[in-house]
Structure 1
Amino acid sequence: INQGMAFRTPDVQLHLKTCFLLLLGGLMEAAQEQGSMYMWIDANQARVLIGFEEDILIVSEGKMAPFTHDFRKAQQRMPAIPVNIQHVNFTWQATDQAEYFYEFQTLRSLDKDIMDDPTVNVPLLGSVPHKASVVQVSFPCRGDQDGVAAFEVTILVMDAGGNIILRTPHNAIFFKTCQKAKCPGGCRSGGYCNERQVCECQDGFYGVHCEKALCSPRCLNGGLCMSPGVCICPPGYFGPSCERANCSTTCLNGGTCFHPGKCICAVGFEGSRCELSKCQQPCRNGGKCTGRNKCKCSKGYHGDLCSKAVCEPSCGAHGTCVEPNRCQCRDGWHGRHCNKTLKKLKQKLNTLKLQHVEKR
Protein backbone atom coordinates (compact mmCIF):
# COMPACT_ATOMS: atom_id res chain seq x y z
CA ILE A 1 0.00 0.00 0.00
CA ASN A 2 3.01 2.31 0.57
CA GLN A 3 4.10 1.78 -3.03
CA GLY A 4 0.67 2.79 -4.20
CA MET A 5 0.67 5.83 -1.95
CA ALA A 6 4.01 6.99 -3.36
CA PHE A 7 2.43 7.67 -6.77
CA ARG A 8 -0.46 9.74 -5.43
CA THR A 9 -0.44 13.51 -5.22
CA PRO A 10 -0.43 15.19 -1.78
CA ASP A 11 -4.08 16.26 -2.24
CA VAL A 12 -5.19 12.70 -2.96
CA GLN A 13 -3.14 11.43 -0.04
CA LEU A 14 -4.77 13.97 2.27
CA HIS A 15 -8.25 12.99 1.04
CA LEU A 16 -7.54 9.30 1.61
CA LYS A 17 -6.09 10.05 5.03
CA THR A 18 -9.22 12.01 6.03
CA CYS A 19 -11.56 9.25 4.78
CA PHE A 20 -9.64 6.50 6.54
CA LEU A 21 -9.52 8.49 9.78
CA LEU A 22 -13.28 8.91 9.63
CA LEU A 23 -13.66 5.21 8.89
CA LEU A 24 -11.54 4.23 11.88
CA GLY A 25 -12.94 6.87 14.21
CA GLY A 26 -16.46 6.01 13.13
CA LEU A 27 -16.31 2.79 15.08
CA MET A 28 -17.21 4.76 18.22
CA GLU A 29 -18.84 8.02 19.32
CA ALA A 30 -18.97 9.72 22.70
CA ALA A 31 -22.12 9.32 24.77
CA GLN A 32 -20.80 11.39 27.68
CA GLU A 33 -17.93 13.86 27.69
CA GLN A 34 -16.02 12.47 30.60
CA GLY A 35 -13.74 9.64 31.54
CA SER A 36 -10.11 8.59 31.45
CA MET A 37 -10.18 6.15 28.54
CA TYR A 38 -7.84 6.49 25.56
CA MET A 39 -7.84 4.81 22.13
CA TRP A 40 -5.39 5.39 19.32
CA ILE A 41 -3.80 3.86 16.22
CA ASP A 42 -0.04 3.64 16.57
CA ALA A 43 2.35 5.03 14.00
CA ASN A 44 3.27 1.64 12.52
CA GLN A 45 -0.37 0.71 11.87
CA ALA A 46 -1.09 4.22 10.53
CA ARG A 47 1.76 3.87 8.05
CA VAL A 48 0.25 0.64 6.69
CA LEU A 49 -3.26 2.11 6.51
CA ILE A 50 -2.75 5.62 5.17
CA GLY A 51 0.96 6.06 4.50
CA PHE A 52 1.48 8.59 7.30
CA GLU A 53 3.71 7.44 10.14
CA GLU A 54 2.13 9.14 13.13
CA ASP A 55 -0.02 8.16 16.09
CA ILE A 56 -3.72 8.82 15.48
CA LEU A 57 -5.60 9.65 18.69
CA ILE A 58 -9.27 8.61 18.42
CA VAL A 59 -10.43 8.88 22.07
CA SER A 60 -8.83 11.06 24.75
CA GLU A 61 -10.21 11.31 28.30
CA GLY A 62 -13.40 9.68 27.08
CA LYS A 63 -13.89 12.31 24.35
CA MET A 64 -13.82 11.65 20.61
CA ALA A 65 -11.21 13.39 18.48
CA PRO A 66 -12.59 16.33 16.42
CA PHE A 67 -12.04 14.55 13.07
CA THR A 68 -14.73 11.99 13.92
CA HIS A 69 -17.52 14.56 14.36
CA ASP A 70 -18.42 14.54 10.65
CA PHE A 71 -18.65 10.74 10.51
CA ARG A 72 -22.30 10.49 9.52
CA LYS A 73 -21.97 13.02 6.70
CA ALA A 74 -18.73 11.52 5.42
CA GLN A 75 -19.84 7.88 5.57
CA GLN A 76 -21.22 7.95 2.03
CA ARG A 77 -17.86 8.97 0.55
CA MET A 78 -15.71 6.62 2.62
CA PRO A 79 -13.49 4.24 0.66
CA ALA A 80 -13.81 0.51 1.17
CA ILE A 81 -10.95 -1.09 3.11
CA PRO A 82 -8.45 -2.18 0.41
CA VAL A 83 -7.79 -5.79 -0.58
CA ASN A 84 -4.36 -5.98 1.04
CA ILE A 85 -5.53 -4.82 4.48
CA GLN A 86 -6.87 -7.83 6.39
CA HIS A 87 -7.14 -6.25 9.83
CA VAL A 88 -6.93 -2.98 11.75
CA ASN A 89 -5.17 -2.65 15.11
CA PHE A 90 -6.47 -0.25 17.77
CA THR A 91 -4.64 0.40 21.03
CA TRP A 92 -6.66 1.27 24.13
CA GLN A 93 -6.06 1.91 27.80
CA ALA A 94 -7.95 3.00 30.92
CA THR A 95 -5.74 5.30 32.99
CA ASP A 96 -5.70 5.93 36.75
CA GLN A 97 -7.94 3.59 38.72
CA ALA A 98 -10.98 4.02 36.50
CA GLU A 99 -12.82 0.83 35.53
CA TYR A 100 -14.35 0.49 32.07
CA PHE A 101 -16.10 -2.49 30.54
CA TYR A 102 -16.77 -3.20 26.88
CA GLU A 103 -19.10 -5.40 24.90
CA PHE A 104 -18.93 -6.26 21.19
CA GLN A 105 -22.66 -6.51 20.49
CA THR A 106 -22.43 -7.05 16.73
CA LEU A 107 -19.76 -8.49 14.44
CA ARG A 108 -21.73 -9.13 11.27
CA SER A 109 -21.03 -9.38 7.57
CA LEU A 110 -23.94 -8.35 5.37
CA ASP A 111 -22.40 -10.13 2.37
CA LYS A 112 -21.34 -13.54 3.67
CA ASP A 113 -20.77 -14.91 0.18
CA ILE A 114 -17.85 -12.45 -0.01
CA MET A 115 -16.66 -12.05 3.60
CA ASP A 116 -17.30 -13.93 6.84
CA ASP A 117 -18.24 -12.08 10.02
CA PRO A 118 -15.50 -9.78 11.33
CA THR A 119 -13.50 -11.16 14.26
CA VAL A 120 -11.65 -9.61 17.19
CA ASN A 121 -8.68 -10.94 19.15
CA VAL A 122 -10.24 -10.19 22.55
CA PRO A 123 -13.25 -11.66 24.38
CA LEU A 124 -16.58 -10.21 23.28
CA LEU A 125 -17.16 -9.07 26.88
CA GLY A 126 -14.47 -7.80 29.19
CA SER A 127 -12.78 -4.86 30.88
CA VAL A 128 -10.62 -2.21 29.22
CA PRO A 129 -7.05 -2.93 30.37
CA HIS A 130 -5.03 -0.47 32.42
CA LYS A 131 -1.97 -1.23 30.31
CA ALA A 132 -1.91 -0.21 26.66
CA SER A 133 -3.24 -3.24 24.73
CA VAL A 134 -4.03 -3.95 21.09
CA VAL A 135 -7.52 -4.80 19.84
CA GLN A 136 -7.36 -6.30 16.37
CA VAL A 137 -10.44 -6.25 14.14
CA SER A 138 -10.04 -8.71 11.24
CA PHE A 139 -11.95 -8.87 7.94
CA PRO A 140 -11.95 -12.52 6.75
CA CYS A 141 -12.57 -12.55 2.99
CA ARG A 142 -13.89 -15.96 1.93
CA GLY A 143 -11.83 -16.14 -1.24
CA ASP A 144 -14.76 -17.52 -3.25
CA GLN A 145 -15.43 -14.41 -5.31
CA ASP A 146 -14.44 -10.80 -5.85
CA GLY A 147 -16.53 -7.93 -4.52
CA VAL A 148 -17.16 -5.37 -1.77
CA ALA A 149 -18.70 -6.64 1.46
CA ALA A 150 -20.67 -4.44 3.86
CA PHE A 151 -20.24 -5.16 7.55
CA GLU A 152 -21.21 -3.94 11.02
CA VAL A 153 -19.08 -3.65 14.14
CA THR A 154 -21.08 -2.56 17.21
CA ILE A 155 -19.30 -1.95 20.50
CA LEU A 156 -20.32 -0.34 23.80
CA VAL A 157 -17.96 0.92 26.51
CA MET A 158 -19.43 1.39 29.99
CA ASP A 159 -18.14 2.71 33.27
CA ALA A 160 -18.30 0.77 36.54
CA GLY A 161 -21.86 1.99 37.09
CA GLY A 162 -23.10 0.60 33.78
CA ASN A 163 -23.36 4.04 32.15
CA ILE A 164 -22.49 4.05 28.43
CA ILE A 165 -19.38 6.16 27.81
CA LEU A 166 -18.71 5.34 24.15
CA ARG A 167 -20.66 3.50 21.49
CA THR A 168 -20.73 2.76 17.79
CA PRO A 169 -22.95 5.20 15.90
CA HIS A 170 -26.39 3.79 15.08
CA ASN A 171 -26.71 2.18 11.63
CA ALA A 172 -22.97 2.52 10.95
CA ILE A 173 -22.03 0.38 7.93
CA PHE A 174 -18.45 -0.16 6.71
CA PHE A 175 -17.06 -1.80 3.58
CA LYS A 176 -14.23 -4.21 2.69
CA THR A 177 -12.92 -5.06 -0.76
CA CYS A 178 -12.20 -8.77 -1.32
CA GLN A 179 -10.57 -10.65 -4.18
CA LYS A 180 -10.18 -14.34 -4.83
CA ALA A 181 -7.40 -15.66 -2.63
CA LYS A 182 -4.27 -17.22 -4.06
CA CYS A 183 -4.93 -20.23 -1.83
CA PRO A 184 -7.38 -22.51 -3.72
CA GLY A 185 -10.73 -22.35 -1.92
CA GLY A 186 -9.68 -19.41 0.24
CA CYS A 187 -8.83 -19.18 3.95
CA ARG A 188 -11.60 -19.02 6.53
CA SER A 189 -12.02 -18.28 10.24
CA GLY A 190 -9.57 -15.38 10.12
CA GLY A 191 -6.78 -17.39 8.45
CA TYR A 192 -4.69 -15.79 5.71
CA CYS A 193 -2.88 -16.95 2.60
CA ASN A 194 0.90 -16.71 3.03
CA GLU A 195 3.57 -16.34 0.37
CA ARG A 196 3.73 -20.15 -0.04
CA GLN A 197 0.00 -20.10 -0.96
CA VAL A 198 -0.85 -22.06 2.19
CA CYS A 199 -3.48 -20.97 4.71
CA GLU A 200 -2.09 -19.94 8.08
CA CYS A 201 -4.83 -20.38 10.68
CA GLN A 202 -5.65 -18.49 13.84
CA ASP A 203 -5.32 -20.26 17.18
CA GLY A 204 -8.03 -22.86 17.62
CA PHE A 205 -8.52 -23.57 13.88
CA TYR A 206 -6.91 -25.99 11.46
CA GLY A 207 -7.46 -27.63 8.08
CA VAL A 208 -6.56 -26.75 4.48
CA HIS A 209 -8.91 -23.76 4.60
CA CYS A 210 -8.82 -23.24 8.40
CA GLU A 211 -12.38 -24.55 8.27
CA LYS A 212 -12.07 -26.90 11.27
CA ALA A 213 -12.30 -25.63 14.83
CA LEU A 214 -10.51 -27.28 17.70
CA CYS A 215 -13.04 -25.73 20.09
CA SER A 216 -16.49 -24.89 18.84
CA PRO A 217 -17.72 -22.50 20.10
CA ARG A 218 -14.32 -20.95 20.60
CA CYS A 219 -12.83 -20.38 24.04
CA LEU A 220 -13.85 -16.98 25.44
CA ASN A 221 -12.41 -14.55 28.01
CA GLY A 222 -8.82 -15.56 27.32
CA GLY A 223 -9.47 -19.32 27.56
CA LEU A 224 -7.01 -21.65 25.81
CA CYS A 225 -8.14 -24.42 23.46
CA MET A 226 -5.97 -27.37 24.52
CA SER A 227 -7.67 -30.15 22.55
CA PRO A 228 -10.89 -30.53 20.51
CA GLY A 229 -13.74 -29.23 22.65
CA VAL A 230 -11.61 -28.61 25.76
CA CYS A 231 -10.98 -25.05 26.98
CA ILE A 232 -8.62 -24.19 29.83
CA CYS A 233 -10.17 -21.16 31.52
CA PRO A 234 -8.28 -18.29 33.19
CA PRO A 235 -8.94 -17.51 36.88
CA GLY A 236 -12.41 -16.13 37.44
CA TYR A 237 -14.14 -17.90 34.53
CA PHE A 238 -15.66 -21.31 33.93
CA GLY A 239 -17.99 -23.16 31.56
CA PRO A 240 -17.41 -25.25 28.40
CA SER A 241 -16.23 -22.14 26.55
CA CYS A 242 -15.11 -20.10 29.61
CA GLU A 243 -18.20 -17.99 28.96
CA ARG A 244 -19.31 -17.63 32.58
CA ALA A 245 -17.80 -15.34 35.21
CA ASN A 246 -17.16 -16.88 38.62
CA CYS A 247 -18.69 -14.13 40.77
CA SER A 248 -17.91 -14.43 44.45
CA THR A 249 -20.35 -11.62 45.26
CA THR A 250 -24.07 -11.53 44.52
CA CYS A 251 -25.29 -8.47 42.62
CA LEU A 252 -28.39 -6.95 44.24
CA ASN A 253 -31.36 -4.89 43.02
CA GLY A 254 -31.30 -6.28 39.50
CA GLY A 255 -27.53 -5.91 39.02
CA THR A 256 -25.66 -8.30 36.72
CA CYS A 257 -22.25 -9.88 37.28
CA PHE A 258 -20.21 -8.60 34.35
CA HIS A 259 -16.71 -9.62 35.43
CA PRO A 260 -15.32 -11.55 38.40
CA GLY A 261 -16.21 -9.45 41.43
CA LYS A 262 -17.77 -6.67 39.32
CA CYS A 263 -21.46 -5.80 39.09
CA ILE A 264 -23.18 -3.72 36.43
CA CYS A 265 -26.00 -2.02 38.35
CA ALA A 266 -29.53 -1.31 37.23
CA VAL A 267 -30.57 2.32 36.81
CA GLY A 268 -30.75 4.11 40.17
CA PHE A 269 -28.35 1.84 42.08
CA GLU A 270 -24.63 1.82 42.80
CA GLY A 271 -22.05 0.19 45.02
CA SER A 272 -19.82 -2.86 44.63
CA ARG A 273 -22.92 -5.10 44.87
CA CYS A 274 -25.49 -2.54 43.66
CA GLU A 275 -26.65 -2.37 47.26
CA LEU A 276 -26.97 1.42 47.41
CA SER A 277 -29.77 3.52 45.99
CA LYS A 278 -28.63 6.69 44.29
CA CYS A 279 -31.57 8.45 45.99
CA GLN A 280 -30.88 9.09 49.69
CA GLN A 281 -34.64 9.20 50.33
CA PRO A 282 -36.91 6.76 48.50
CA CYS A 283 -39.06 8.02 45.64
CA ARG A 284 -42.75 8.15 46.56
CA ASN A 285 -46.03 7.43 44.84
CA GLY A 286 -44.55 4.90 42.43
CA GLY A 287 -41.59 7.05 41.34
CA LYS A 288 -38.30 5.39 40.37
CA CYS A 289 -34.77 6.51 41.15
CA THR A 290 -32.93 7.35 37.89
CA GLY A 291 -29.80 9.09 39.13
CA ARG A 292 -28.15 10.93 41.99
CA ASN A 293 -31.20 12.03 44.05
CA LYS A 294 -33.31 12.18 40.89
CA CYS A 295 -36.72 10.52 40.73
CA LYS A 296 -38.79 9.83 37.64
CA CYS A 297 -42.37 10.34 38.81
CA SER A 298 -45.45 8.43 37.76
CA LYS A 299 -48.30 10.33 36.13
CA GLY A 300 -50.03 12.77 38.46
CA TYR A 301 -47.04 13.52 40.69
CA HIS A 302 -43.96 15.75 40.64
CA GLY A 303 -41.20 17.05 42.88
CA ASP A 304 -37.75 15.76 43.84
CA LEU A 305 -39.27 12.77 45.66
CA CYS A 306 -42.52 12.61 43.64
CA SER A 307 -44.34 13.69 46.81
CA LYS A 308 -46.37 16.49 45.24
CA ALA A 309 -49.63 15.83 43.43
CA VAL A 310 -50.41 17.56 40.13
CA CYS A 311 -53.73 19.34 39.57
CA GLU A 312 -54.47 20.73 36.11
CA PRO A 313 -55.50 23.48 36.15
CA SER A 314 -54.12 24.41 39.56
CA CYS A 315 -56.10 24.84 42.77
CA GLY A 316 -55.31 28.55 42.78
CA ALA A 317 -54.62 30.62 45.88
CA HIS A 318 -57.48 29.17 47.93
CA GLY A 319 -56.82 25.42 47.72
CA THR A 320 -54.18 22.70 47.97
CA CYS A 321 -53.63 19.82 45.55
CA VAL A 322 -53.85 16.69 47.72
CA GLU A 323 -54.23 14.02 45.01
CA PRO A 324 -53.90 14.09 41.23
CA ASN A 325 -56.59 16.53 40.00
CA ARG A 326 -58.26 16.80 43.45
CA CYS A 327 -58.16 20.07 45.37
CA GLN A 328 -58.81 20.59 49.07
CA CYS A 329 -60.37 24.06 49.50
CA ARG A 330 -59.86 26.47 52.38
CA ASP A 331 -62.78 27.58 54.60
CA GLY A 332 -65.13 29.81 52.71
CA TRP A 333 -64.23 28.44 49.27
CA HIS A 334 -65.51 25.56 47.15
CA GLY A 335 -65.58 24.27 43.61
CA ARG A 336 -63.32 21.90 41.67
CA HIS A 337 -60.56 24.53 41.56
CA CYS A 338 -61.47 26.33 44.82
CA ASN A 339 -62.40 29.48 42.89
CA LYS A 340 -65.93 29.96 44.27
CA THR A 341 -66.89 31.50 47.65
CA LEU A 342 -69.56 30.12 49.99
CA LYS A 343 -70.94 33.69 50.33
CA LYS A 344 -71.77 33.80 46.65
CA LEU A 345 -73.25 30.33 46.89
CA LYS A 346 -75.58 31.47 49.74
CA GLN A 347 -76.61 34.55 47.78
CA LYS A 348 -77.45 32.40 44.81
CA LEU A 349 -79.49 30.02 46.97
CA ASN A 350 -81.42 32.92 48.53
CA THR A 351 -82.16 34.29 45.06
CA LEU A 352 -83.47 30.92 43.95
CA LYS A 353 -85.70 30.71 47.05
CA LEU A 354 -87.17 34.20 46.42
CA GLN A 355 -87.86 33.31 42.80
CA HIS A 356 -89.61 30.15 43.94
CA VAL A 357 -91.79 32.06 46.49
CA GLU A 358 -92.74 34.68 43.91
CA LYS A 359 -93.87 31.99 41.48
CA ARG A 360 -96.11 30.48 44.12
Structure 2
Amino acid sequence: IPECCAGFYGDACLLCPGNYNSPCNNRGQCVDKMSGNGTCLCKANFKGTACELCADDDHYGENCTEVCSCIHGECENGPSGNGKCKPDTCKLGFTGDNCDTHINPCGPDLDNCHAHAQCDNANNVIQCICNAGYEGNGMDCIPINPCMQPNRGGCHSEAKCTYISAGRNLCECEVNWTGDGYVCVPVDNCLLPFYGGCDPYASCIYTNPGQNICECRDGFEGNGLQCIPIDSCQINNGDCHSHVSY
Protein backbone atom coordinates (compact mmCIF):
# COMPACT_ATOMS: atom_id res chain seq x y z
CA ILE A 1 0.00 0.00 0.00
CA PRO A 2 1.61 3.32 -1.04
CA GLU A 3 2.27 5.63 1.92
CA CYS A 4 4.35 8.73 2.64
CA CYS A 5 7.37 8.49 4.90
CA ALA A 6 7.17 10.20 8.27
CA GLY A 7 7.56 13.97 7.85
CA PHE A 8 5.84 14.05 4.44
CA TYR A 9 2.18 14.53 3.63
CA GLY A 10 -0.53 14.42 0.96
CA ASP A 11 -0.78 12.39 -2.23
CA ALA A 12 2.38 14.13 -3.47
CA CYS A 13 4.25 13.41 -0.20
CA LEU A 14 5.31 17.05 0.29
CA LEU A 15 7.86 17.91 2.98
CA CYS A 16 6.35 19.03 6.29
CA PRO A 17 7.21 22.60 7.43
CA GLY A 18 10.65 22.73 8.96
CA ASN A 19 13.20 20.48 7.32
CA TYR A 20 13.89 16.85 6.51
CA ASN A 21 15.48 15.98 9.84
CA SER A 22 13.19 18.03 12.07
CA PRO A 23 9.59 18.44 10.87
CA CYS A 24 7.94 21.35 12.68
CA ASN A 25 11.43 22.08 14.07
CA ASN A 26 10.89 19.22 16.55
CA ARG A 27 8.56 21.53 18.47
CA GLY A 28 5.33 19.97 17.30
CA GLN A 29 3.70 17.07 15.47
CA CYS A 30 3.17 17.28 11.71
CA VAL A 31 -0.11 15.89 10.39
CA ASP A 32 1.75 13.74 7.88
CA LYS A 33 1.20 10.64 5.71
CA MET A 34 -1.03 10.65 2.61
CA SER A 35 -4.12 11.43 4.67
CA GLY A 36 -2.44 14.45 6.34
CA ASN A 37 -2.39 18.11 5.33
CA GLY A 38 1.05 19.13 6.65
CA THR A 39 -0.27 21.22 9.55
CA CYS A 40 2.08 21.53 12.53
CA LEU A 41 0.38 20.89 15.87
CA CYS A 42 2.77 22.90 18.03
CA LYS A 43 3.71 21.98 21.57
CA ALA A 44 2.86 24.32 24.41
CA ASN A 45 4.86 27.59 24.33
CA PHE A 46 5.28 27.51 20.51
CA LYS A 47 3.40 28.83 17.49
CA GLY A 48 3.94 29.50 13.78
CA THR A 49 3.62 27.52 10.56
CA ALA A 50 6.71 25.48 11.51
CA CYS A 51 6.47 26.10 15.29
CA GLU A 52 9.34 28.53 14.81
CA LEU A 53 8.00 31.22 17.17
CA CYS A 54 7.34 31.49 20.90
CA ALA A 55 3.64 31.58 21.75
CA ASP A 56 4.29 34.65 23.93
CA ASP A 57 6.17 37.47 22.22
CA ASP A 58 7.99 38.40 25.42
CA HIS A 59 9.53 34.93 25.84
CA TYR A 60 12.67 33.36 24.42
CA GLY A 61 14.94 30.34 24.76
CA GLU A 62 14.99 26.76 23.55
CA ASN A 63 11.75 25.98 25.39
CA CYS A 64 10.32 29.52 25.19
CA THR A 65 10.12 29.65 28.97
CA GLU A 66 12.55 32.52 29.57
CA VAL A 67 11.09 36.04 29.95
CA CYS A 68 12.72 38.84 27.94
CA SER A 69 14.79 41.33 29.93
CA CYS A 70 14.30 44.06 27.32
CA ILE A 71 12.49 47.01 28.93
CA HIS A 72 12.17 49.95 26.54
CA GLY A 73 12.83 48.30 23.19
CA GLU A 74 12.01 45.34 20.97
CA CYS A 75 12.98 41.97 22.44
CA GLU A 76 15.19 39.48 20.61
CA ASN A 77 12.59 36.79 21.30
CA GLY A 78 11.88 33.32 19.92
CA PRO A 79 13.65 29.97 20.41
CA SER A 80 16.94 31.36 19.09
CA GLY A 81 16.68 34.76 20.83
CA ASN A 82 18.69 35.95 23.80
CA GLY A 83 15.99 37.97 25.58
CA LYS A 84 17.83 41.28 25.22
CA CYS A 85 16.75 44.19 23.06
CA LYS A 86 17.31 44.01 19.32
CA PRO A 87 20.01 46.43 18.16
CA ASP A 88 18.84 49.99 17.50
CA THR A 89 15.34 49.44 18.95
CA CYS A 90 15.62 51.42 22.20
CA LYS A 91 12.95 54.06 22.69
CA LEU A 92 13.94 57.71 22.82
CA GLY A 93 15.89 58.44 25.97
CA PHE A 94 17.10 54.89 26.69
CA THR A 95 20.15 52.82 25.82
CA GLY A 96 21.88 49.57 26.85
CA ASP A 97 21.38 45.89 26.07
CA ASN A 98 18.00 45.99 27.79
CA CYS A 99 17.18 49.61 26.88
CA ASP A 100 16.90 50.37 30.59
CA THR A 101 19.63 52.99 30.94
CA HIS A 102 18.53 56.61 30.70
CA ILE A 103 20.50 58.74 28.28
CA ASN A 104 21.65 62.00 29.83
CA PRO A 105 20.18 65.13 28.26
CA CYS A 106 22.53 67.19 26.10
CA GLY A 107 21.06 70.59 26.72
CA PRO A 108 21.12 72.97 23.74
CA ASP A 109 23.11 70.45 21.69
CA LEU A 110 19.87 68.46 21.39
CA ASP A 111 18.67 71.08 18.92
CA ASN A 112 21.37 69.99 16.47
CA CYS A 113 20.06 66.42 16.23
CA HIS A 114 17.68 65.25 13.56
CA ALA A 115 13.98 65.10 14.44
CA HIS A 116 14.27 61.28 14.49
CA ALA A 117 17.45 61.19 16.59
CA GLN A 118 18.34 61.45 20.25
CA CYS A 119 21.28 63.17 21.88
CA ASP A 120 23.74 61.19 23.97
CA ASN A 121 26.57 62.57 26.07
CA ALA A 122 27.84 59.29 27.48
CA ASN A 123 31.47 59.53 28.60
CA ASN A 124 31.19 63.30 28.09
CA VAL A 125 31.10 62.83 24.31
CA ILE A 126 28.10 64.55 22.80
CA GLN A 127 26.67 62.77 19.78
CA CYS A 128 23.36 62.37 17.99
CA ILE A 129 22.04 58.83 17.54
CA CYS A 130 19.22 57.96 15.14
CA ASN A 131 16.14 56.47 16.76
CA ALA A 132 15.12 52.83 16.37
CA GLY A 133 13.94 52.16 12.83
CA TYR A 134 16.18 54.90 11.38
CA GLU A 135 19.77 55.02 10.18
CA GLY A 136 22.25 57.82 9.60
CA ASN A 137 24.75 59.97 11.47
CA GLY A 138 22.26 61.52 13.86
CA MET A 139 22.21 64.80 11.99
CA ASP A 140 20.46 63.15 9.07
CA CYS A 141 18.32 60.08 9.72
CA ILE A 142 16.33 58.12 7.14
CA PRO A 143 13.76 55.36 7.76
CA ILE A 144 15.04 51.79 7.56
CA ASN A 145 13.09 49.63 5.13
CA PRO A 146 13.46 46.05 6.43
CA CYS A 147 12.40 44.74 3.03
CA MET A 148 15.55 46.20 1.52
CA GLN A 149 17.80 44.48 4.06
CA PRO A 150 19.59 41.18 3.21
CA ASN A 151 17.14 39.14 5.29
CA ARG A 152 14.09 40.92 3.80
CA GLY A 153 12.65 41.63 7.23
CA GLY A 154 12.74 37.94 8.13
CA CYS A 155 10.29 37.02 5.34
CA HIS A 156 10.41 33.60 3.68
CA SER A 157 11.85 33.38 0.16
CA GLU A 158 8.33 32.69 -1.15
CA ALA A 159 6.78 35.58 0.78
CA LYS A 160 6.07 39.20 -0.07
CA CYS A 161 7.68 41.80 2.20
CA THR A 162 5.65 44.99 2.63
CA TYR A 163 7.13 48.11 4.22
CA ILE A 164 4.85 49.51 6.96
CA SER A 165 6.86 52.20 8.73
CA ALA A 166 10.41 52.90 9.89
CA GLY A 167 11.93 49.54 10.84
CA ARG A 168 8.64 47.66 10.50
CA ASN A 169 7.36 45.34 7.78
CA LEU A 170 4.72 42.70 7.04
CA CYS A 171 5.41 39.24 5.59
CA GLU A 172 2.75 37.52 3.47
CA CYS A 173 3.14 34.25 1.56
CA GLU A 174 2.93 34.58 -2.22
CA VAL A 175 0.08 33.16 -4.31
CA ASN A 176 0.00 29.33 -4.24
CA TRP A 177 1.93 29.31 -0.96
CA THR A 178 0.52 29.35 2.57
CA GLY A 179 1.88 30.07 6.05
CA ASP A 180 2.64 32.95 8.38
CA GLY A 181 5.02 34.75 6.00
CA TYR A 182 8.09 33.75 7.97
CA VAL A 183 7.58 30.13 6.90
CA CYS A 184 5.67 29.33 3.69
CA VAL A 185 4.74 25.91 2.32
CA PRO A 186 3.31 25.04 -1.11
CA VAL A 187 -0.45 24.86 -1.54
CA ASP A 188 -1.59 21.34 -2.49
CA ASN A 189 -4.95 21.74 -4.22
CA CYS A 190 -5.64 18.05 -3.75
CA LEU A 191 -5.86 18.57 0.02
CA LEU A 192 -8.35 21.43 -0.25
CA PRO A 193 -12.13 20.95 -0.05
CA PHE A 194 -12.61 21.49 -3.80
CA TYR A 195 -10.15 18.59 -4.46
CA GLY A 196 -8.36 20.49 -7.21
CA GLY A 197 -11.58 20.72 -9.24
CA CYS A 198 -11.40 16.99 -10.02
CA ASP A 199 -14.42 14.72 -10.43
CA PRO A 200 -15.12 12.47 -7.39
CA TYR A 201 -14.20 9.50 -9.61
CA ALA A 202 -10.87 11.05 -10.62
CA SER A 203 -7.44 11.12 -9.00
CA CYS A 204 -6.06 14.56 -8.13
CA ILE A 205 -2.31 14.71 -8.79
CA TYR A 206 -0.13 17.51 -7.36
CA THR A 207 2.26 19.00 -9.93
CA ASN A 208 3.42 22.37 -8.54
CA PRO A 209 2.38 24.79 -5.76
CA GLY A 210 -1.28 25.59 -6.42
CA GLN A 211 -1.36 23.37 -9.54
CA ASN A 212 -2.65 19.86 -10.21
CA ILE A 213 -3.99 17.57 -12.90
CA CYS A 214 -7.03 15.29 -12.79
CA GLU A 215 -7.10 11.76 -14.18
CA CYS A 216 -10.18 9.54 -14.26
CA ARG A 217 -9.77 6.35 -12.26
CA ASP A 218 -9.90 2.85 -13.72
CA GLY A 219 -13.37 2.04 -14.99
CA PHE A 220 -14.14 5.67 -15.85
CA GLU A 221 -13.39 7.92 -18.78
CA GLY A 222 -13.33 11.69 -19.33
CA ASN A 223 -11.06 14.68 -18.86
CA GLY A 224 -10.71 14.29 -15.10
CA LEU A 225 -12.98 17.21 -14.40
CA GLN A 226 -15.88 15.01 -15.45
CA CYS A 227 -15.71 11.20 -15.43
CA ILE A 228 -18.37 8.73 -16.56
CA PRO A 229 -18.44 4.94 -16.08
CA ILE A 230 -17.10 2.87 -18.97
CA ASP A 231 -19.65 0.39 -20.37
CA SER A 232 -17.35 -2.50 -21.20
CA CYS A 233 -20.15 -4.23 -23.12
CA GLN A 234 -19.88 -1.51 -25.73
CA ILE A 235 -16.16 -2.18 -26.22
CA ASN A 236 -15.29 -5.36 -28.13
CA ASN A 237 -18.49 -6.94 -26.80
CA GLY A 238 -16.91 -6.82 -23.38
CA ASP A 239 -14.41 -9.47 -24.56
CA CYS A 240 -17.23 -12.01 -24.40
CA HIS A 241 -17.08 -15.16 -26.57
CA SER A 242 -19.05 -14.89 -29.82
CA HIS A 243 -21.56 -17.45 -28.56
CA VAL A 244 -22.15 -15.74 -25.24
CA SER A 245 -24.81 -13.09 -24.83
CA TYR A 246 -24.03 -9.83 -23.15
Larger radius of gyration: 1
Query: TM-score w.r.t. structure 2 length?
Result: 0.34
Structure number with higher helix proportion: 1
